[in-house]
A and B are shown apart, each in its own frame.
Chain A
Amino acid sequence: MIHTFLSVLSREILLFLKKHPDFFSKKEKAREELMEHAHLPAPFKKYLTDVSEKDFLKDLELIFKLRNDAAMSLKSQPFFMALLEFFTTLLASKLDKIPVTFYLDSADKQKEFLDEILGSDTPVAEVIKQTLMTYTPQDLSQQIYELSRRAVNAPLVLIQSPREIESELKSQIRHEFLKEYPNSFPIFQTNRSLIGGMRVFVDGEVVDHSWIYRVIRFTTLTTS
Protein backbone atom coordinates (compact mmCIF):
# COMPACT_ATOMS: atom_id res chain seq x y z
CA MET A 1 0.00 0.00 0.00
CA ILE A 2 2.72 2.48 1.01
CA HIS A 3 4.83 1.77 -2.04
CA THR A 4 1.92 2.39 -4.43
CA PHE A 5 1.07 5.57 -2.62
CA LEU A 6 4.71 6.73 -2.65
CA SER A 7 5.00 6.00 -6.38
CA VAL A 8 1.95 8.11 -7.19
CA LEU A 9 2.96 10.82 -4.77
CA SER A 10 6.53 11.07 -6.07
CA ARG A 11 5.17 11.10 -9.66
CA GLU A 12 2.88 13.98 -8.74
CA ILE A 13 5.70 15.87 -7.07
CA LEU A 14 8.00 15.32 -10.04
CA LEU A 15 5.30 16.43 -12.46
CA PHE A 16 4.81 19.53 -10.36
CA LEU A 17 8.54 20.23 -10.33
CA LYS A 18 8.65 19.64 -14.08
CA LYS A 19 6.08 22.37 -14.47
CA HIS A 20 8.14 24.60 -12.15
CA PRO A 21 11.80 23.85 -12.88
CA ASP A 22 12.96 26.86 -10.85
CA PHE A 23 10.93 25.87 -7.79
CA PHE A 24 13.90 25.28 -5.51
CA SER A 25 15.52 28.57 -6.48
CA LYS A 26 12.48 30.49 -5.24
CA LYS A 27 12.00 32.03 -1.83
CA GLU A 28 9.71 30.44 0.75
CA LYS A 29 6.83 32.85 0.12
CA ALA A 30 6.95 32.23 -3.62
CA ARG A 31 7.05 28.50 -3.03
CA GLU A 32 3.98 28.71 -0.80
CA GLU A 33 2.12 30.54 -3.55
CA LEU A 34 3.10 27.91 -6.08
CA MET A 35 2.15 25.08 -3.73
CA GLU A 36 -1.39 26.44 -3.47
CA HIS A 37 -1.97 25.18 -7.02
CA ALA A 38 -0.36 21.76 -6.46
CA HIS A 39 -2.66 18.72 -6.09
CA LEU A 40 -0.86 17.43 -3.03
CA PRO A 41 -1.89 16.85 0.58
CA ALA A 42 -1.04 19.66 3.00
CA PRO A 43 1.90 17.96 4.81
CA PHE A 44 3.70 17.46 1.48
CA LYS A 45 3.06 21.05 0.43
CA LYS A 46 4.69 22.18 3.65
CA TYR A 47 7.54 19.73 3.11
CA LEU A 48 8.22 21.03 -0.39
CA THR A 49 8.05 24.61 0.85
CA ASP A 50 10.74 23.95 3.46
CA VAL A 51 13.06 21.44 1.79
CA SER A 52 16.21 22.29 -0.16
CA GLU A 53 16.88 20.81 -3.56
CA LYS A 54 19.73 18.73 -2.25
CA ASP A 55 17.65 17.26 0.60
CA PHE A 56 14.77 16.65 -1.74
CA LEU A 57 17.01 14.61 -4.03
CA LYS A 58 18.24 12.64 -1.03
CA ASP A 59 14.66 11.96 0.05
CA LEU A 60 13.73 10.96 -3.46
CA GLU A 61 16.59 8.49 -3.49
CA LEU A 62 15.35 7.12 -0.16
CA ILE A 63 11.83 6.68 -1.57
CA PHE A 64 13.19 4.59 -4.44
CA LYS A 65 15.45 2.61 -2.13
CA LEU A 66 12.64 1.86 0.31
CA ARG A 67 11.02 -0.67 -2.02
CA ASN A 68 14.19 -2.81 -2.05
CA ASP A 69 15.40 -2.20 1.50
CA ALA A 70 12.70 -2.92 4.05
CA ALA A 71 15.09 -2.45 6.99
CA MET A 72 16.28 0.98 5.93
CA SER A 73 16.32 3.60 8.69
CA LEU A 74 13.66 6.29 8.29
CA LYS A 75 14.45 8.18 11.47
CA SER A 76 14.23 11.98 11.20
CA GLN A 77 13.78 11.93 7.41
CA PRO A 78 11.70 15.05 6.57
CA PHE A 79 9.81 13.40 3.73
CA PHE A 80 8.79 10.43 5.84
CA MET A 81 7.82 12.71 8.69
CA ALA A 82 5.51 14.49 6.26
CA LEU A 83 4.22 11.14 5.05
CA LEU A 84 3.60 10.07 8.62
CA GLU A 85 1.82 13.31 9.41
CA PHE A 86 -0.39 12.73 6.40
CA PHE A 87 -1.23 9.19 7.48
CA THR A 88 -1.75 9.93 11.16
CA THR A 89 -3.90 13.01 10.67
CA LEU A 90 -5.54 13.41 7.28
CA LEU A 91 -5.80 9.79 6.21
CA ALA A 92 -6.67 8.66 9.72
CA SER A 93 -9.57 11.10 9.88
CA LYS A 94 -10.92 9.68 6.60
CA LEU A 95 -10.29 6.14 7.70
CA ASP A 96 -12.28 6.71 10.88
CA LYS A 97 -15.30 7.77 8.85
CA ILE A 98 -15.51 4.42 7.07
CA PRO A 99 -18.26 2.31 8.68
CA VAL A 100 -18.01 -1.46 9.14
CA THR A 101 -20.74 -1.96 6.54
CA PHE A 102 -18.53 -0.24 3.92
CA TYR A 103 -16.81 -3.53 3.10
CA LEU A 104 -20.13 -5.27 2.53
CA ASP A 105 -21.22 -2.72 -0.06
CA SER A 106 -20.70 -3.03 -3.81
CA ALA A 107 -17.63 -1.44 -5.44
CA ASP A 108 -19.80 1.34 -6.90
CA LYS A 109 -21.27 2.20 -3.55
CA GLN A 110 -17.84 2.10 -1.95
CA LYS A 111 -16.50 4.45 -4.62
CA GLU A 112 -19.46 6.74 -4.15
CA PHE A 113 -18.91 6.85 -0.40
CA LEU A 114 -15.17 7.54 -0.80
CA ASP A 115 -15.86 10.29 -3.34
CA GLU A 116 -18.10 11.82 -0.74
CA ILE A 117 -15.64 11.74 2.15
CA LEU A 118 -12.45 12.48 0.18
CA GLY A 119 -14.04 14.98 -2.21
CA SER A 120 -11.18 15.06 -4.69
CA ASP A 121 -10.24 13.31 -7.91
CA THR A 122 -6.51 13.98 -7.96
CA PRO A 123 -4.23 11.01 -8.66
CA VAL A 124 -3.19 10.96 -5.00
CA ALA A 125 -6.83 10.93 -3.87
CA GLU A 126 -7.60 8.21 -6.40
CA VAL A 127 -4.82 5.97 -5.16
CA ILE A 128 -6.04 6.52 -1.61
CA LYS A 129 -9.57 5.57 -2.65
CA GLN A 130 -8.24 2.47 -4.39
CA THR A 131 -6.21 1.57 -1.30
CA LEU A 132 -9.18 2.02 1.01
CA MET A 133 -11.29 -0.22 -1.23
CA THR A 134 -8.61 -2.88 -1.45
CA TYR A 135 -7.25 -3.04 2.08
CA THR A 136 -9.09 -3.43 5.37
CA PRO A 137 -8.64 -0.77 8.05
CA GLN A 138 -6.67 -3.36 10.06
CA ASP A 139 -4.17 -3.88 7.21
CA LEU A 140 -3.79 -0.16 6.69
CA SER A 141 -3.45 0.52 10.38
CA GLN A 142 -0.79 -2.15 10.71
CA GLN A 143 1.27 -0.76 7.82
CA ILE A 144 0.99 2.80 9.06
CA TYR A 145 1.92 1.72 12.57
CA GLU A 146 5.02 -0.06 11.24
CA LEU A 147 6.02 3.07 9.35
CA SER A 148 5.57 5.22 12.47
CA ARG A 149 7.61 2.71 14.47
CA ARG A 150 10.45 2.92 11.95
CA ALA A 151 10.34 6.69 11.56
CA VAL A 152 9.76 7.94 15.12
CA ASN A 153 9.68 4.77 17.22
CA ALA A 154 6.04 5.46 18.02
CA PRO A 155 4.39 3.11 20.52
CA LEU A 156 1.78 0.59 19.49
CA VAL A 157 -1.56 2.04 20.56
CA LEU A 158 -4.34 -0.49 20.34
CA ILE A 159 -7.88 0.43 21.29
CA GLN A 160 -10.42 -2.33 21.76
CA SER A 161 -14.14 -1.80 22.10
CA PRO A 162 -17.12 -4.14 22.02
CA ARG A 163 -18.74 -2.23 19.16
CA GLU A 164 -17.38 -0.07 16.35
CA ILE A 165 -16.44 3.32 17.80
CA GLU A 166 -18.16 6.31 16.22
CA SER A 167 -15.94 8.30 13.85
CA GLU A 168 -16.22 11.43 16.00
CA LEU A 169 -15.00 9.61 19.08
CA LYS A 170 -12.24 7.95 17.06
CA SER A 171 -11.04 11.40 15.99
CA GLN A 172 -11.06 12.56 19.61
CA ILE A 173 -9.10 9.52 20.68
CA ARG A 174 -6.55 9.95 17.87
CA HIS A 175 -6.21 13.60 18.75
CA GLU A 176 -5.50 12.78 22.39
CA PHE A 177 -2.95 10.11 21.56
CA LEU A 178 -1.25 12.31 18.97
CA LYS A 179 -0.80 14.92 21.67
CA GLU A 180 0.79 12.41 24.00
CA TYR A 181 2.65 10.31 21.41
CA PRO A 182 3.33 12.44 18.29
CA ASN A 183 2.99 10.57 14.97
CA SER A 184 1.49 7.53 16.67
CA PHE A 185 -1.30 5.74 14.89
CA PRO A 186 -3.91 4.23 17.21
CA ILE A 187 -5.34 0.99 15.87
CA PHE A 188 -9.02 0.38 16.58
CA GLN A 189 -10.28 -3.15 17.07
CA THR A 190 -13.73 -4.51 17.77
CA ASN A 191 -13.74 -7.16 20.47
CA ARG A 192 -17.25 -8.23 21.44
CA SER A 193 -16.00 -10.20 24.43
CA LEU A 194 -15.36 -6.89 26.23
CA ILE A 195 -19.18 -6.54 26.44
CA GLY A 196 -18.93 -2.83 27.24
CA GLY A 197 -16.40 -0.07 27.91
CA MET A 198 -12.98 0.14 26.34
CA ARG A 199 -9.51 -1.37 26.68
CA VAL A 200 -6.36 0.49 25.64
CA PHE A 201 -2.91 -1.02 25.10
CA VAL A 202 0.06 1.35 24.83
CA ASP A 203 3.21 -0.61 24.06
CA GLY A 204 2.13 -3.55 26.20
CA GLU A 205 0.67 -1.53 29.06
CA VAL A 206 -3.05 -2.00 29.52
CA VAL A 207 -5.65 0.47 30.70
CA ASP A 208 -8.71 -1.69 31.03
CA HIS A 209 -12.12 -0.07 31.44
CA SER A 210 -14.01 -2.93 29.86
CA TRP A 211 -17.05 -4.49 31.46
CA ILE A 212 -15.59 -7.97 31.30
CA TYR A 213 -12.63 -6.78 33.36
CA ARG A 214 -14.98 -5.16 35.87
CA VAL A 215 -17.13 -8.28 36.15
CA ILE A 216 -14.12 -10.51 36.69
CA ARG A 217 -12.60 -8.04 39.15
CA PHE A 218 -15.90 -7.74 41.00
CA THR A 219 -16.35 -11.49 41.32
CA THR A 220 -12.72 -11.91 42.35
CA LEU A 221 -12.99 -9.21 45.00
CA THR A 222 -16.29 -10.46 46.41
CA THR A 223 -15.03 -14.01 46.80
CA SER A 224 -11.59 -13.23 48.21
Chain B
Amino acid sequence: MEALLKLGIVPWNIVVYMANAGFMVAVLTFLLYKPLFRFIDERRKKISDSVHAAERYKDELDSKVKESKEEREKAETELRDEMAKLHKFVETKRAELTEEMQAARTEMLQKAQDEIDRKKASLIKDAEKEIAALMTKIILDIVRNKVPESVIKESIHDAWKQIKKTA
Protein backbone atom coordinates (compact mmCIF):
# COMPACT_ATOMS: atom_id res chain seq x y z
CA MET B 1 0.00 0.00 0.00
CA GLU B 2 2.77 2.18 1.10
CA ALA B 3 4.52 1.61 -2.11
CA LEU B 4 1.41 2.84 -3.83
CA LEU B 5 1.28 5.74 -1.65
CA LYS B 6 4.94 6.48 -2.33
CA LEU B 7 4.05 6.58 -5.87
CA GLY B 8 1.29 9.02 -5.09
CA ILE B 9 -1.42 6.52 -5.71
CA VAL B 10 -4.15 6.48 -3.07
CA PRO B 11 -6.05 3.13 -2.98
CA TRP B 12 -9.35 4.87 -2.34
CA ASN B 13 -8.70 6.83 -5.32
CA ILE B 14 -8.31 3.67 -7.19
CA VAL B 15 -11.67 2.52 -5.92
CA VAL B 16 -13.14 5.87 -6.72
CA TYR B 17 -11.55 5.77 -10.02
CA MET B 18 -12.80 2.28 -10.58
CA ALA B 19 -16.29 3.21 -9.43
CA ASN B 20 -16.07 6.23 -11.58
CA ALA B 21 -14.94 4.14 -14.40
CA GLY B 22 -17.79 1.66 -13.75
CA PHE B 23 -20.18 4.49 -13.57
CA MET B 24 -18.80 5.88 -16.71
CA VAL B 25 -19.10 2.54 -18.33
CA ALA B 26 -22.65 2.18 -17.18
CA VAL B 27 -23.51 5.65 -18.28
CA LEU B 28 -21.77 5.21 -21.54
CA THR B 29 -23.38 1.84 -21.97
CA PHE B 30 -26.83 3.27 -21.51
CA LEU B 31 -26.25 6.54 -23.17
CA LEU B 32 -23.71 5.79 -25.84
CA TYR B 33 -22.94 2.16 -26.48
CA LYS B 34 -26.50 0.93 -26.63
CA PRO B 35 -27.67 3.57 -29.07
CA LEU B 36 -24.49 3.19 -30.90
CA PHE B 37 -24.80 -0.54 -31.12
CA ARG B 38 -28.41 -0.21 -31.98
CA PHE B 39 -27.51 2.26 -34.65
CA ILE B 40 -24.80 -0.06 -35.82
CA ASP B 41 -27.19 -2.98 -35.88
CA GLU B 42 -29.77 -0.97 -37.70
CA ARG B 43 -27.12 0.17 -40.06
CA ARG B 44 -25.91 -3.39 -40.52
CA LYS B 45 -29.47 -4.49 -41.04
CA LYS B 46 -30.06 -1.70 -43.43
CA ILE B 47 -26.90 -2.58 -45.26
CA SER B 48 -27.86 -6.20 -45.21
CA ASP B 49 -31.28 -5.32 -46.58
CA SER B 50 -29.67 -3.15 -49.11
CA VAL B 51 -27.34 -5.98 -50.00
CA HIS B 52 -30.32 -8.32 -50.25
CA ALA B 53 -32.19 -5.79 -52.25
CA ALA B 54 -29.16 -5.31 -54.40
CA GLU B 55 -28.86 -9.05 -54.82
CA ARG B 56 -32.53 -9.24 -55.67
CA TYR B 57 -32.13 -6.38 -58.00
CA LYS B 58 -29.10 -8.12 -59.40
CA ASP B 59 -31.07 -11.31 -59.85
CA GLU B 60 -33.86 -9.33 -61.41
CA LEU B 61 -31.34 -7.59 -63.54
CA ASP B 62 -29.78 -10.90 -64.48
CA SER B 63 -33.21 -12.22 -65.29
CA LYS B 64 -33.99 -9.10 -67.24
CA VAL B 65 -30.64 -9.31 -68.98
CA LYS B 66 -31.25 -12.92 -69.74
CA GLU B 67 -34.72 -12.16 -70.95
CA SER B 68 -33.41 -9.28 -72.91
CA LYS B 69 -30.68 -11.43 -74.31
CA GLU B 70 -33.20 -14.05 -75.30
CA GLU B 71 -35.38 -11.42 -76.84
CA ARG B 72 -32.39 -9.95 -78.56
CA GLU B 73 -31.37 -13.37 -79.78
CA LYS B 74 -34.91 -14.02 -80.91
CA ALA B 75 -35.02 -10.65 -82.58
CA GLU B 76 -31.65 -11.34 -84.10
CA THR B 77 -32.87 -14.71 -85.35
CA GLU B 78 -36.01 -13.11 -86.73
CA LEU B 79 -33.94 -10.36 -88.21
CA ARG B 80 -31.53 -12.88 -89.64
CA ASP B 81 -34.47 -14.80 -91.12
CA GLU B 82 -35.91 -11.59 -92.44
CA MET B 83 -32.51 -10.65 -93.80
CA ALA B 84 -32.20 -14.07 -95.37
CA LYS B 85 -35.67 -13.72 -96.87
CA LEU B 86 -34.87 -10.22 -97.98
CA HIS B 87 -31.60 -11.40 -99.41
CA LYS B 88 -33.36 -14.22 -101.17
CA PHE B 89 -36.01 -11.80 -102.46
CA VAL B 90 -33.30 -9.41 -103.56
CA GLU B 91 -31.45 -12.25 -105.22
CA THR B 92 -34.63 -13.40 -106.97
CA LYS B 93 -35.44 -9.88 -108.03
CA ARG B 94 -31.87 -9.32 -109.08
CA ALA B 95 -31.97 -12.55 -111.11
CA GLU B 96 -35.29 -11.51 -112.67
CA LEU B 97 -34.00 -8.04 -113.41
CA THR B 98 -30.76 -9.46 -114.74
CA GLU B 99 -32.75 -11.85 -116.90
CA GLU B 100 -34.99 -9.01 -118.13
CA MET B 101 -31.97 -6.83 -118.74
CA GLN B 102 -30.26 -9.69 -120.50
CA ALA B 103 -33.36 -10.27 -122.64
CA ALA B 104 -33.63 -6.54 -123.36
CA ARG B 105 -29.93 -6.42 -124.10
CA THR B 106 -30.19 -9.45 -126.37
CA GLU B 107 -33.20 -7.92 -128.09
CA MET B 108 -31.42 -4.59 -128.51
CA LEU B 109 -28.32 -6.35 -129.75
CA GLN B 110 -30.44 -8.42 -132.12
CA LYS B 111 -32.19 -5.29 -133.37
CA ALA B 112 -28.89 -3.53 -133.77
CA GLN B 113 -27.47 -6.58 -135.54
CA ASP B 114 -30.55 -6.77 -137.77
CA GLU B 115 -30.24 -3.09 -138.56
CA ILE B 116 -26.54 -3.55 -139.30
CA ASP B 117 -27.29 -6.58 -141.46
CA ARG B 118 -30.02 -4.69 -143.29
CA LYS B 119 -27.81 -1.70 -143.85
CA LYS B 120 -25.00 -3.98 -144.89
CA ALA B 121 -27.25 -5.87 -147.29
CA SER B 122 -28.57 -2.59 -148.66
CA LEU B 123 -25.05 -1.27 -149.13
CA ILE B 124 -23.96 -4.51 -150.75
CA LYS B 125 -27.04 -4.47 -152.98
CA ASP B 126 -26.37 -0.87 -153.96
CA ALA B 127 -22.76 -1.70 -154.63
CA GLU B 128 -23.82 -4.74 -156.63
CA LYS B 129 -26.23 -2.64 -158.63
CA GLU B 130 -23.54 -0.09 -159.32
CA ILE B 131 -21.09 -2.81 -160.28
CA ALA B 132 -23.72 -4.47 -162.48
CA ALA B 133 -24.54 -1.16 -164.13
CA LEU B 134 -20.85 -0.43 -164.66
CA MET B 135 -20.17 -3.93 -165.98
CA THR B 136 -23.19 -3.70 -168.26
CA LYS B 137 -22.03 -0.33 -169.52
CA ILE B 138 -18.50 -1.59 -170.19
CA ILE B 139 -19.64 -4.82 -171.82
CA LEU B 140 -22.28 -3.08 -173.90
CA ASP B 141 -19.78 -0.45 -174.98
CA ILE B 142 -17.40 -3.18 -176.14
CA VAL B 143 -20.14 -5.29 -177.73
CA ARG B 144 -21.81 -2.34 -179.48
CA ASN B 145 -18.73 -0.71 -180.86
CA LYS B 146 -16.09 -3.38 -181.27
CA VAL B 147 -17.97 -6.37 -182.65
CA PRO B 148 -17.79 -6.74 -186.45
CA GLU B 149 -21.02 -6.68 -188.45
CA SER B 150 -20.42 -10.21 -189.73
CA VAL B 151 -20.34 -11.53 -186.16
CA ILE B 152 -23.66 -9.83 -185.38
CA LYS B 153 -25.26 -11.33 -188.48
CA GLU B 154 -23.82 -14.71 -187.57
CA SER B 155 -25.28 -14.31 -184.07
CA ILE B 156 -28.77 -14.05 -185.58
CA HIS B 157 -28.31 -17.42 -187.26
CA ASP B 158 -26.90 -18.93 -184.07
CA ALA B 159 -29.79 -17.59 -182.04
CA TRP B 160 -32.29 -19.11 -184.47
CA LYS B 161 -30.52 -22.49 -184.17
CA GLN B 162 -30.76 -22.28 -180.38
CA ILE B 163 -34.43 -21.31 -180.54
CA LYS B 164 -35.11 -24.26 -182.82
CA LYS B 165 -33.27 -26.57 -180.43
CA THR B 166 -35.17 -25.38 -177.38
CA ALA B 167 -38.56 -25.30 -179.14
Contacts and interface: CB of A to CB of B under 8 A. Distances in A.
A180 interface: yes
Interface stretch (B7-15, B81-89, B112-120, B155-163): B155-163
Given A195-B144, A219-B132, A219-B136, A162 B163 contact: no
B160 A195 contact: no
Contact of A163 (B129, B135, B140, B152): B152
A214 B164 CA distance: 18
Interface string B138-167: 011001100101011101111110111011
Interface residues of B, number: 27
B18 interface: no
B96 interface: no
A207 interface: yes
Contact of A198 (B149, B163, B167): B163
A168 to B, nearest CB: 10
B131 interface: yes
B128 interface: yes
A184 to B, nearest CB: 14
Given A162-B152, A218-B139, A197 B158 contact: yes
Contacts of A180: 167
Nearest to A180: B167
B139 A215 contact: yes
Contacts of A172: 160
Interface string A168-200: 010011001000100000000000000111101
B136 A200 contact: no
A106 interface: no
A222 interface: yes
Nearest to B140: A215
A161 interface: yes
Given A196-B143, A196-B152, A169 B160 contact: yes
A198 B167 CA distance: 14
Given A161-B156, A195-B144, A224 B128 contact: yes
Interface string A151-164: 00000000001110
B135 A223 contact: yes
Contact of B147 (A196, A198, A222): A196
A198 B160 contact: yes
Contact of A211 (B132, B149, B155, B166): B155
Given A161-B156, A220-B132, 11 more contacts: A169-B156, A169-B157, A196-B151, A196-B152, A197-B155, A200-B163, A207-B163, A212-B140, A219-B139, A223-B129, A223-B135
9 contacts: A195-B143, A197-B159, A198-B156, A207-B167, A215-B143, A219-B136, A223-B131, A223-B135, A224-B128
Q: Which 7 A-B residue pairs are closest in the complex by CB-CB distance?
A: A198-B159, A196-B155, A209-B159, A197-B159, A223-B128, A219-B135, A219-B132
